[in-house]
């Protein structure tokens, strides 16, 4: 059931605007300072958990949207509806929230405008910037998103470092705020009063991922992954940012059960997704990590027809749905780390008969899980992607693990002039790349599980074939990491 009530105020808005969660426990206030700087703050059960935090942007080639702004309108709405997941932690999801949209404008002769849309749920809040089509701002190159989060300095924080070479693969740290410089989201904290917060983002589409830069005591600012030319985000025409999210709960377990991130994503765009079948699998993978075999043909090729049959037999006997095969395609014998142009995604090594393996897997009632390691060469992969997915569709593969093994900032992009540049794993280019992969796979009824991914922001609701991601420091480090993964991680 959906209940929506909308009220709008036109002209200048003099008073601060507040929206509360349906249960009244969370309140978000939006206002401007005397200098015309927009800000927001958040209270939970009467306690200010996010202090006054600035909002705005700086651009290349045009004035900032940072101060001298006026609030020109406010609109409100409420929603309470239930939607159904095709798979996941629960079948029915409730989306109950109150919404406030505040419009800001510059005092220029030709004003530039944007709105801040805030949604307050019982389990937290989300807000995003929305820029309409406007002659005074036909395009934008963002060089600084000023979004701040003023958080308690004496809280306990759980976090991993951001903007470093090893992507998301760092040990989680438990510290006070003063030990943090740049952190990936989600960053989680517990206040002195026991409130639990987690800062993240939802619906990361055509935008750069947000880390948090600890700029001064208790003040964290959005830190977006840049393009190779230093610009953070490039936009033309109307656009929206991802939702900046703050999950809020009385305890840690309630953060885990939060549905906020999914509720801030758009509904399923793929239609019938009954073909998406999450499940347990085994794989020709671990034996390479412990050096019992190799991805390449020497010294001992793991992805052979005979060896893969053994795995399929094991999976069929013990109730596993699938078998992952890594190292089957041409390219693994070369120096491929950060040099993925050596890979051919449609040609198998001579000792791997992909058509026969597909037939044998079907005979045994087991799914063959494909593997596309790009070595960070995203543009090279895109040039072969359709043919590669067509091959997998023909042999019966319904899930593909992709990979982007390269240091942070080492993703290959070929620009429109044929020039090679290098981008971050979580920049705007890769946000778009991952979505293109997911859409191309969906056309063949194939699900995607990326390794070295861009972080999860709930897009599995919109594209349910995006079934998983492998991005944290995990099991493979138990094969060769020094030391192996400790329990506290």
CB 412 within 8 A of CB 340: yes
262: nearest Cα among 44, 55, 97, 400 = 97
Token pair listed for 283: 């794989």
pLDDT of residue 489: 86
Whether 452 shows a pLDDT value over 60: the answer reads yes
Whether 6 shows a pLDDT value over 60: the answer reads no
pLDDT of residue 11: 55
pLDDT of residue 388: 99
pLDDT of residue 160: 98
Q: What percent of the chain has pLDDT over 90?
A: 94
Other Cβ atoms closer than 10 A to 244: 25
pLDDT of residue 12: 65
pLDDT of residue 5: 47
Whether 9 shows a pLDDT value over 70: the answer reads no
* Separation between Cα atoms, residue 188 and residue 369, nearest integer Å: 34
Q: What is the pLDDT of residues 132-176, one digit of tens each?
A: 999 999 999 999 999 999 999 999 999 999 999 999 999 999 999
Q: Read off the pLDDT of each residue in 52-76 and give the average, rounded to a whole number.
A: 98
CB 109 within 8 A of CB 125: no
pLDDT of residue 483: 83
**Beta carbons within 8 Å of 166's beta carbon, 6+ residues apart:** 407, 408
Whether 10 shows a pLDDT value over 60: the answer reads no
Token pair listed for 333: 């014998």
Concatenated DSSP letters of 2-37: -----EEE-S---S-EEEE-TTSSEEEEEEE-TT--
Q: Please state the pTM of the whole predicted model.
A: 0.96
Q: What is the pLDDT of residues 428-443, one digit of tens each?
A: 999 999 999 999 999 9
Q: What are phi and psi of 118, to 5 degrees?
A: -115, 135
User: What is the DSSP pairing of strand 173-175 with strand 38-44?
Assistant: unpaired
* Separation between Cα atoms, residue 56 and residue 140, nearest integer Å: 13
Token pair listed for 4: 């929506």
**Residues involved in catalysis:** 476
Q: What is the pLDDT of residues 319-335, one digit of tens each?
A: 999 999 999 999 999 88
pLDDT of residue 403: 98
User: Of the given ranges (9-13, 52-56, 216-220), which has the lowest mean pLDDT?
Assistant: 9-13
* Separation between Cα atoms, residue 461 and residue 176, nearest integer Å: 34
Residues paired with residue 28 on neighbouring β-strands, in sequence order = 19, 42
Domain boundaries, the chain: 7-263, 281-480
- At the topology level, CATH places domain 281-480 in TIM Barrel (3.20.20)
* Separation between Cα atoms, residue 148 and residue 36, nearest integer Å: 16
pLDDT of residue 215: 97
* Total residues belonging to the chain: 489
What does the angle CA 470 – CA 343 – CA 378 come to, to the nearest 5 degrees? 55
- At the topology level, CATH places domain 7-263 in Beta-galactosidase; Chain A, domain 5 (2.70.98)
CA 150 to chain centroid, in Å, comes to: 23
Residues paired with residue 59 on neighbouring β-strands, in sequence order = 142
Q: What percent of the chain has pLDDT over 70?
A: 98
368: nearest Cα among 274, 279, 272, 436 = 279
The whole-chain average pLDDT of the chain stands at 96
223: nearest Cα among 267, 179, 187 = 187
pLDDT of residue 487: 86
* Separation between Cα atoms, residue 366 and residue 137, nearest integer Å: 54
């Amino acid at each position: 059931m959906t209940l929506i009530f909308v009220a709008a105020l036109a002209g200048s808005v003099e008073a601060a605007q507040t929206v509360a969660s349906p249960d009244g426990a969370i309140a978000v206030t939006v206002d401007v300072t005397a200098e015309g700087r927009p800000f927001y703050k958040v209270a939970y059960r009467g306690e200010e958990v996010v202090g006054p935090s600035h909002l705005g942007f700086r651009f290349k080639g045009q004035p900032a949207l940072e101060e001298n702004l006026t609030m020109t309108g406010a609109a409100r709405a409420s929603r309470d509806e239930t939607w159904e997941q095709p798979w996941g932690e629960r079948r029915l999801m409730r989306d109950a929230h109150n919404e406030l949209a505040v419009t800001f404008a510059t005092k220029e002769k030709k004003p530039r405008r944007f709105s801040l849309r805030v949604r307050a749920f019982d389990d937290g809040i989300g807000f995003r910037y929305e820029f309409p089509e406007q002659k005074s701002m036909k395009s934008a190159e963002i060089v600084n998103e000023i979004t701040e989060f003023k958080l308690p300095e004496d809280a306990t924080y759980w976090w991993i470092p951001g903007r470093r070479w090893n992507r998301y693969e760092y040990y989680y740290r438990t510290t006070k705020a003063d030990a943090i410089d740049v952190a990936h989201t989600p960053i989680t904290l517990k206040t002195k009063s026991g409130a639990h917060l987690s800062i993240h983002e939802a619906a990361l589409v055509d935008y750069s991922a947000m880390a948090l830069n600890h700029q001064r005591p208790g003040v964290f600012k959005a830190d977006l992954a840049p393009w190779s030319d230093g610009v953070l985000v490039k936009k033309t025409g109307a656009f929206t940012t991802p939702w900046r999210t703050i999950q809020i709960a009385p305890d840690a377990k309630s953060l885990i059960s939060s549905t906020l991130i999914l509720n801030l994503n758009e509904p399923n765009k793929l239609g019938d997704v009954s073909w998406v079948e999450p499940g347990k699998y085994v794989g020709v993978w671990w034996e390479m990590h412990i050096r019992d075999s190799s991805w390449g043909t020497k010294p001992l090729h793991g992805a052979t027809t005979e060896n893969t049959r053994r795995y399929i037999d094991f999976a069929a006997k013990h109730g596993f749905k699938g078998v992952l095969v890594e190292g089957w395609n041409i390219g693994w014998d070369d120096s491929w780390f950060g040099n993925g142009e050596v890979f051919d995604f449609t040609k198998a090594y001579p000792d791997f008969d992909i058509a026969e393996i597909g037939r044998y897997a079907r005979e045994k009632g087991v799914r063959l899980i494909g593997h596309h390691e790009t070595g960070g060469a995203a543009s090279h992969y895109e040039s072969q992607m359709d043919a590669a997915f067509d091959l997998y569709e023909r042999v019966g593969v319904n899930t593909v693990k992709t990979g982007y093994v390269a240091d942070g900032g080492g993703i290959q992009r070929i620009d429109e002039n044929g020039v090679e540049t290098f981008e971050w794993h979580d920049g705007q280019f890769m946000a778009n790349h991952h979505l293109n992969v997911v859409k191309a796979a969906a056309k063949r009824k194939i699900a995607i599980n990326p390794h070295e991914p861009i972080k999860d922001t709930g897009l599995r609701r919109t594209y349910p074939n995006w079934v998983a991601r492998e991005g944290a420091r995990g099991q493979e480090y138990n094969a060769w990491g020094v030391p192996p993964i400790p329990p506290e991680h």
